[in-house]
Amino acid sequence: MHFFDPHQPYQVRSLELTALTPTPYDAEIAQADRGVGRIIDWLRQRRLLDDTLVVLTADHGESLGEHGEPTHGIFI
């Protein structure tokens, strides 16, 4: 599985998440979290979770204004 979110341009697919989170970035974090949760639930329902190794990795994320940079392009 590859969850590309959250990266600009933000494309939140849930009005609920948009309303519950302070920024589009946070909404995409929540969206990715829900996606991972669905995978875990699927494994649990099929009694596969106890015999499954789930590995999560992430890239460097966004700068969110740190050092005056709103994205992550110059810090890669």
pLDDT tens string, the chain, 76 residues long: the values are 777 667 677 777 777 777 888 888 888 888 889 999 999 999 999 999 999 999 988 776 666 666 677 666 666 5
Which H, E and C letters describe 16-60, residue by residue? HHHHHCCCHHHHHHHHHHHHHHHHHHHHHHCCCHHHCCCCCCCCC
pTM attached to this predicted model: 0.69
CA distance 69 to 19: 26
Q: Is residue 30 part of a domain?
A: yes
Q: Is residue 6 part of a domain?
A: no
CA distance 11 to 16: 13
Q: Is residue 28 part of a domain?
A: yes
Q: Is residue 61 part of a domain?
A: yes
Total domain count, the chain: 1
Write the CB contacts of 39 (distance below 8 Å, at least 6 apart in sequence). Answer: 1, 54
